[in-house]
Amino acid sequence: MVSRIEFSVNGRKTVFSGNPLTRLIDVLREDLSLTGVKEGCGEGECGACSVIKDGRLVTSCIIPVGAVNGSEILTIEGIRDTDKGRCLVDAFAEGGAVQCGFCIPGMVMAAYALLSSNPNPSEEDIRRGISGNICRCTGYDLIVESIKLAVRKGGDLWA
Amino acid sequence: MGMTYIPSTLSEALHLRAETGARPLAGGTDMMVQSKRGIGLAPEFPYPVMIISGLEELRGITKHEDGSVEIGALASPAEIAASDIVPWHVRMAAAGMGAVALRNSATIGGNIGNASPKGDLPQPLILLDADVILVSLRGETKMKLDDFILGSKKTALKDDEIIRSVIIPPHEFTYSFYRKIGMRRANAISKLSLSAAAVVRDGEILDFRAASGASGPKVIRSYSAEAIIRGRRVEDIPEVLDGFLEAWNAAISPHAMPQYRRNTTRRMLSHFLSSIHDGAEAGIIS
Amino acid sequence: MPLTGIDDRVVRVDAAAKARGEARYVCDYTFPDMLYAYMVRSSIPRGTIDSISIPKLPDGYYFISAADIPPEGKNELWMIQKDWRCFAEGDVRYVGETIGLLVGPDRNILKYLLDHVDIKYTEGIPAVSIDDGIACKGGAIVGEDNVLCQLYVEKGKPMSEVFAEADSIYEETLETGFQEHVHLETNAAIVTEEDGKYAIYASAQCPFYIRKSVAGLLGIPQEDIIIRQTTTGGAFGGKEHFPDVLCGPLLVAEHRIHKPIKLVFDREEDMLYSVKRHPSKVTYRTALDKDGNILGIEGLVYYNCGAYLSASYVVLQRGVFHANGVYDFPNTYVKGIGIATNTFPSDAFRGFGAPQTLFAIETHLDHIARKFGFDPAEYKARYFIKQGGETITNGHIVERVMLPEMMKQVVDASGYEEKIRKYPIGSGRGIGISFYNHGGAFTGNGEQAIIKAHARLVKTGGRVRIEVGSTEMGQGFQTALRKIAAVVLGIPIEDVDYDNPDTSLVCDSGPTAASRSTMIVGKIVERCAAEMKERWAEGDFSVEKEYEHPEGHPWDQSTFRGDAYLGYGWGCAAVEVEADKLTNEIHVTGIWSSHDIGHAIDELIVHGQVNGGIAQSIGYASMEKMENRNGYFRQSSMSDYVVPTSMEFPKQEWFLVENPYEWGPFGAKGMGELVFNGADAAYIDAVERALGITVHRIPMPPEDIEEALGNGQ
């Protein structure tokens, strides 16, 4: 039986001993001050709270912290100063992907997960890869173009 | 509000289940949403809960010697969709669930156990006569998924049981059909879904089956309606088509949007059978 | 640092911080000793409050209600009128009306308390739809007839004469539904006290509106309240007046509690208990000669305003003023009526009343064209208004109208001519086209008479700070305005600062609404910058200027006659669809648009606005269904009220025409709302052609298409 929930966030070990049903997003935002993780819907529908759990994209608003025991969690704060993260942030800025910005950290995480598993995605792959991340501002075209830009600029980074 | 446990092994989980009645929570994609209480607040359940996402015993997708495929209760839609040993109808349903993040988090066990009429996986599984394996300290039970799901959010799961896996018997269909209609093209809950399959040899329809999702309190298969088609010759389809469609229409019981769900189901079934009649190439009817 | 040219491609100033997750939205702020607030809301659409029973509150917990408003204050929010109450008192008029706030340190305890508040009502019979409101179901909510506001405009001969001359009259009613903003950031605000003043941190479009709206609750000068806009995660009109509804109760709570208090709606609250786009019901009676030529149009426009006026009168005016679309019909009479109902008050939403009537007139003209065997595009083009043409309000179009050129761009790029031949009516494929406009800035002389915007530039060394109350909400204004200043000053854009406004530090440049910011505030900043450049050598100084109204735009606000707007943005959109014959799902296979926005300040920003506005508009016409039954919204989450995903629509092709606007900075006009105003009608036109159906309402999800197909058979 697990009594202490241990996991890592952005490479740092974290121990949680409260209610195991506490939503991962609340642990990240409120206990760890990782406010780049945004809450848009609270039910896994909008993707604003997307993080990467053991290499896979998940929505942190519907994951109980008790389910991440032993996991490695990566948030926007953990990737933004890596080569891949910088590549994506720069491409999003240059490509005009960002408007109100509330969906964007989650969108960057989705793009990161996509390119990490598929370094050379088609437009269809990109659209599918971010289809769980709702953006109300852009109509998505410039986000898609920015991800393509990240592929071009990143080159070997994604291979 | 009940206690929350995190068992490390299946055996622990079965003891917990037997002793406390704690309900399993895996991906959280249904339960965490249904019991959400807002920002900064943990969901609350009126019963004890155990988080079973760490149980290795419930993982994996394997093909048995008899050709059947066993999918562990914790298999995610992403794993199912990517597995080439899983039958086509099930892969299609898995691939069409939610979007990337949900497909990584949800589990087949949860999708079955939650028994939502809009759940995506029960529909093709029931088409394929899948069994569900239930495990408890008393041992294992196997039952047809169609019998296991009793109605909307109701299953035959006993208080000490956990869903261990799903077993899909082998099939080789000549023709297959799958459609999910969501509220939009991606990241959508099912508004209506339909699977159909047929085995045709030498002009004779040896097997024919269909399953309607989101068309009633549970997935609908009408064995009596299927029997109208089964055993017929392909050239007889026009003769029996209307009778079959009427029988199927009588079997489904859509609550909301009844006209849309009935007519669309009718059109899809008619299209599938007409394609067979018109000599479509074997494979997937789109 | 390189100098910036107005046509240079620049990187948005806010992009990197947002993408890195460093931008701070109001939900990201915390203060020492901060308390949380939850709203106690009406659970019925209409009735009297018999009793409110609050569970025993632990120490440090508060229930705030109308009783906490001090004697010198009044229980009213000042939007256009002062009819919307901060707290319901005595009766409730819609589901979700604020009754009180529960405030305290622990959200679990607050949630428990909230679940145990017991309010007893005597329920009334709610009026929910426009028809209910007209019929005064359950008795009038407002006055004797539920008419919250009304107006009419007329042009040419009396319609009775026109109808007498007509060979036929084509009459039909078109309806549009509620639309929810779904800004990704929900509504939220924090109130606190700083240096003896109240300070409110808010996700908001119009910080000065909040100050004006809430000061009367405590009977204090507006200046005693500081509004600090926090990075705002989308608004679309949903944060124009609605933040008042959060900030008012918070201010009353602060007056009693004196600690920082945070109120953040979760998505369900934001869906169920926030303002929406006005549902509409528009009836046109069009007089036609025997060849199908339009002799005149009579329109009756109803908007469902909900229980309070909020901005509805102005929304309705804009609806009426756009009810003739982009056309110059010889005779028109259009009456608009805002109806009170027991639904959540309807309020601003991108387009501000124009999209409803534009959808109606475009679809109406499609139907007439088809009846007489004309191609809708060709038919509509006959009536395009031209420079000097008389508007529906007896004003004149001052600028050159480039609709023919825009239509040609869209027709050529989309292959419209070929496709209308290739896709016969009912073939399952179709292409549709629409034309639309949007009057820039406030109606008539509102900019001069009501707003009187100010802007200020402050020079410190080589840096220049812009001090205006206009806000960035995603539309790119912080970048656009810096670019305007930098280009005029001849300095790099990096040397211009423009922070989220703080009402104690900046000028009131008017609300960030009505597509007025670039056109109006941008122009004032351009003028400030021009003076600053001339005086650059003077050292550190500031330049502040007031709005100057262009000559030659007569307007009478009492009769609604004259130039309703200073200038218009113009648009043309084509949408191509393929219908799934098994499921009636509609797949959009192409989107083309052309817009006249004068001159683009930043093409990349404009590109994003065009894409996003069009996606939102097609969502409005297709999938965004918000139903209200018996006073209760039925869609409460992002899974049952769906907005477009990245998979919905193909990549858009878009064009701009160059048509510099004399009174805008660098020739720019407003554009944020324009791009929402027409793709819905093009989509419906395409669907009608693909399936051979006639549509009279939006949205049209597949189940409603099924019904239309059934009716047609």
Residues C393, C464 within the same domain = no
Smallest CA–CA distance from A139 into chain C, residue: C612
Cβ distance C12 to A98 less than 8 Å, yes or no, reads: yes
Best residue of B37, B245, B264, B274 to probe chain C, by most C CBs closer than 10 Å: B264
Strand partners of residue B49? B4, B23
Is B82 part of the contact surface with chain A (CB cutoff 8 Å)?
no
- From chain C, the residues in CB contact with B187 under 8 A are 645, 647
Question: What is the predicted pLDDT for the residue at C429?
Answer: 98
Residues A91, A124 within the same domain = yes
Gap between the terminal Cα atoms of chain A: 40
Among C residues 469-498, those touching chain A with beta carbons less than 8 Å apart:
473-476
Question: What is the predicted pLDDT for the residue at C712?
Answer: 55
Residues A84, A111 within the same domain = yes
Question: What is the predicted pLDDT for the residue at C1?
Answer: 61
Provide the angle, in degrees to the nearest 10, between the axes of the packed helices C243-257 and C207-218: 40
Structural contact between residues A48 and A106, judged by C-beta atoms closer than 8 angstroms = yes
Mark the ranges of chain C whose per-residue pLDDT is less than 50.
713
Q: Say how far apart CA B130 and CA B221 lie, in whole Å.
A: 13
- Let me know if residue C287 belongs to a domain: yes
CATH code assigned at C113:
3.30.365.10
CA of C273, closest CA in chain A: separation in Å? 15
Q: Which of C273, C426, C407, C444 is nearest to C347 (CA)?
A: C273
The CA dihedral of A36, C232, C268, C112, to the nearest 10 degrees, is 70
Last residue of a domain, one of A43, A60, A76: A76
- Let me know if residue C622 belongs to a domain: yes
- From chain A, the residues in CB contact with B187 under 8 A are 45, 131-132, 134
Last residue of a domain, one of C546, C572, C606: C546
Q: Which of C519, C522, C520 is nearest to C530 (CA)?
A: C522
Domain count, chain A: 2
Q: How does C146-173 read in b/e, with b if 16+ C-beta sit within 10 Å?
A: bbbbbbebbbbeebeebbeebeeebebe
Chains that touch C (3 or more CB pairs under 8 A): A, B
Structural contact between residues A20 and B6, judged by C-beta atoms closer than 8 angstroms = yes
Could you give the ipTM of this predicted complex? 0.99
Q: What is the pLDDT of residues C81-139, one digit of tens each?
A: 999 999 999 999 999 999 999 999 999 999 999 999 999 999 999 999 999 999 999 99
Three-state SS for B263?
helix
Gap between the terminal Cα atoms of chain C: 68
Q: Say how far apart CA B142 and CA B154 lie, in whole Å.
A: 18
Q: Say how far apart CA C87 and CA B124 lie, in whole Å.
A: 52
Angle at B182 between CA B266 and CA A124, to 5 degrees: 120
Show the domain range for C263.
Answer: 31-124+181-272
- State percent of chain A over pLDDT 70: 100
Q: What is the pLDDT of residues A28-54, one digit of tens each?
A: 999 999 999 999 999 999 999 999 999
DSSP state letter for B52: -
Q: Report in angstroms the alpha-carbon separations of C247 from B77, C27, C87, C198, C489.
A: 44, 15, 12, 11, 38
Is C51 part of the contact surface with chain A (CB cutoff 8 Å)?
no
Q: Which of C696, C572, C490 is nearest to C1 (CA)?
A: C490
Q: Say how far apart CA B126 and CA B213 lie, in whole Å.
A: 10
Domain segments of chain B: what residues?
A: 4-168, 175-284
Cβ distance C611 to A97 less than 8 Å, yes or no, reads: no
Smallest CA–CA distance from C183 into chain A, residue: A136
* Amino acid (one-letter) located at C9: R
Residues C403, C427 within the same domain = yes
Question: What is the predicted pLDDT for the residue at C713?
Answer: 45
Q: Report in angstroms the alpha-carbon separations of B36 from B7, C43, C267.
A: 23, 20, 11
Cβ distance B105 to A70 less than 8 Å, yes or no, reads: no
Cβ distance C645 to A131 less than 8 Å, yes or no, reads: yes
Smallest CA–CA distance from B186 into chain C, residue: C647
pLDDT of B223 > 90? The answer is: yes
Angle at C315 between CA C313 and CA C318, to 5 degrees: 110
Quickly count: other Cβ atoms within 10 Å of residue C293's Cβ. 14
Show the tokens assigned to B86. Answer: 């899983």
Is C640 part of the contact surface with chain A (CB cutoff 8 Å)?
no
Cβ distance B4 to A63 less than 8 Å, yes or no, reads: no
Residues C19, C52 within the same domain = no
Question: What is the predicted pLDDT for the residue at A118?
Answer: 97
Provide the angle, in degrees to the nearest 10, between the axes of the packed helices C702-712 and B258-277: 80
Which residue among C108, C640, C707 places its CB closest to the CB of B259?
C707
Best residue of B56, B104, B185 to probe chain A, by most A CBs closer than 10 Å: B104
- Let me know if residue C130 belongs to a domain: no
Is B85 part of the contact surface with chain A (CB cutoff 8 Å)?
no
Residues A72, A93 within the same domain = no
Residues 6+ positions from C673 with CB-CB distance below 8 Å: C350, C351, C352, C354, C438, C514, C515, C613
Quickly count: other Cβ atoms within 10 Å of residue B268's Cβ. 24
CATH code assigned at A141:
1.10.150.120
Q: Which of C388, C481, B103 is nearest to B111 (CA)?
A: B103
Question: What is the predicted pLDDT for the residue at B176?
Answer: 98
Q: Report in angstroms the alpha-carbon separations of C446 from C374, C451, C549, C569.
A: 40, 6, 10, 18
Q: Which of C449, C278, C450, C273 is nearest to C351 (CA)?
A: C278
E-state strands within C278-358: 280-288, 294-306, 332-340
Question: What is the predicted pLDDT for the residue at C196?
Answer: 94
Residues A84, A72 within the same domain = no
- From chain B, the residues in CB contact with C703 under 8 A are 191, 257, 259-260
Q: Say how far apart CA B195 and CA B93 lie, in whole Å.
A: 9
Tell me how many residue pairs between chain A and chain C have CB atoms under 8 A apart. 177
Show the tokens assigned to A77. Answer: 């704060």
- Let me know if residue A159 belongs to a domain: no
Cβ distance A134 to B187 less than 8 Å, yes or no, reads: yes
Q: What is the pLDDT of residues C379-406, one digit of tens each?
A: 999 999 999 999 999 999 999 999 999 9
Locate all alpha helices (DSSP H) within C654-698, ordered by sequence.
679-691
> At CB < 8 Å, which residues of chain A contact B?
1-3, 5, 19-23, 26, 30, 39, 42-45, 47, 50, 53, 56-59, 62-64, 66-67, 69-70, 110, 113-114, 128-129, 131-134
**DSSP-derived pairing of the beta strands C463-467 and C496-497:** parallel
Cβ distance C233 to A38 less than 8 Å, yes or no, reads: yes
- Let me know if residue C552 belongs to a domain: no
- Let me know if residue C669 belongs to a domain: yes
Question: What is the predicted pLDDT for the residue at B192?
Answer: 97
- From chain B, the residues in CB contact with A129 under 8 A are 100
Say which residue, B52 or B2, is predicted with more confidence: B52
Show the tokens assigned to A18. Answer: 């409260």
- Let me know if residue A87 belongs to a domain: yes
- Let me know if residue A158 belongs to a domain: no
CA of A101, closest CA in chain B: separation in Å? 20
> At CB < 8 Å, which residues of chain B contact C?
37-41, 99, 179, 181, 183-189, 191-192, 257, 259-260, 263-264, 267-268, 271
Last residue of a domain, one of A16, A50, A76: A76
Cβ distance C612 to A137 less than 8 Å, yes or no, reads: yes
Residues A70, A86 within the same domain = no
Residues A45, A97 within the same domain = no
Mark the ranges of chain A whose per-residue pLDDT is less than 70.
none
Residues A72, A83 within the same domain = no
Q: What is the pLDDT of residues B230-253, one digit of tens each?
A: 999 999 999 999 999 999 999 999
Residues C439, C476 within the same domain = no
The total number of residues shown for chain A amounts to: 159
Report residue C409: phi and psi, to 5°: -55, -45
Residues C294, C411 within the same domain = yes
- State percent of chain C over pLDDT 90: 98
Last residue of a domain, one of C228, C243, C272: C272
Question: What is the predicted pLDDT for the residue at B46?
Answer: 95
Q: What class does CATH assign to B175-284?
A: alpha beta
CA-based radius of gyration for chain B: 20
Residues A17, A36 within the same domain = yes
- From chain C, the residues in CB contact with A105 under 8 A are 18-21
Structural contact between residues C454 and C580, judged by C-beta atoms closer than 8 angstroms = no
Q: Which of C572, C538, C384 is nearest to C461 (CA)?
A: C538
Question: Cis before residue A20, ω within 30 degrees of 0?
Answer: no
CA of C637, closest CA in chain B: separation in Å? 11
Question: What is the predicted pLDDT for the residue at C365?
Answer: 98
* CA B177 to mean position of chain CA atoms: 15
Cβ distance A23 to B104 less than 8 Å, yes or no, reads: no
The model's confidence at residue B217, banded by pLDDT at 50, 70 and 90, is very high
Q: Say how far apart CA A132 and CA A61 lie, in whole Å.
A: 13
- From chain A, the residues in CB contact with C475 under 8 A are 99
Angle at C65 between CA C61 and CA C70, to 5 degrees: 105
* CA B67 to mean position of chain CA atoms: 19
Show the domain range for A141.
Answer: 79-153
Residues C695, C656 within the same domain = yes
Domain count, chain C: 3
Q: Could you tell me the maximum CA-CA distance found in chain A, to the nearest angstrom?
A: 49
- Mean pLDDT in residue range B170-193: 96
Q: Say how far apart CA B214 and CA B122 lie, in whole Å.
A: 10
Cβ distance A21 to B43 less than 8 Å, yes or no, reads: yes
- From chain C, the residues in CB contact with B38 under 8 A are 107, 111, 266, 268
Which residue among A19, A39, A131 places its CB closest to the CB of B42?
A19
Last residue of a domain, one of A76, A98, A124: A76
Residues A95, A142 within the same domain = yes
CA of A67, closest CA in chain B: separation in Å? 6
Is B139 part of the contact surface with chain A (CB cutoff 8 Å)?
no
- From chain A, the residues in CB contact with C647 under 8 A are 127-128, 131
Residues 6+ positions from C293 with CB-CB distance below 8 Å: none
Question: What is the predicted pLDDT for the residue at B20?
Answer: 96
CATH 3.30.465.10 fits B4-168, yes or no: yes
Chains that touch B (3 or more CB pairs under 8 A): A, C
Question: What is the predicted pLDDT for the residue at A132?
Answer: 98
CA of B259, closest CA in chain A: separation in Å? 28
Q: Say how far apart CA C518 and CA C120 lie, in whole Å.
A: 50
CA of C413, closest CA in chain A: separation in Å? 18
Show the tokens assigned to C521. Answer: 């505030």
Q: Which of C618, C643, C277 is nearest to B183 (CA)?
A: C643
Cβ distance A58 to B101 less than 8 Å, yes or no, reads: yes
Smallest CA–CA distance from C638 into chain B, residue: B188
CA of C234, closest CA in chain A: separation in Å? 5
Question: What is the predicted pLDDT for the residue at B1?
Answer: 66
Residues A104, A68 within the same domain = no
Question: What is the predicted pLDDT for the residue at A23?
Answer: 98
CA of A147, closest CA in chain C: separation in Å? 13
Last residue of a domain, one of C523, C546, C569: C546
Tell me how many residue pairs between chain B and chain C have CB atoms under 8 A apart. 71
CA of A133, closest CA in chain C: separation in Å? 7
Residues C212, C332 within the same domain = no
Q: Say how far apart CA C635 and CA C627 lie, in whole Å.
A: 7
Q: Report in angstroms the alpha-carbon separations of C327 from A155, C315, C658.
A: 52, 20, 21
* Amino acid (one-letter) located at B249: N
- Let me know if residue A66 belongs to a domain: yes
CATH code assigned at A27:
3.10.20.30
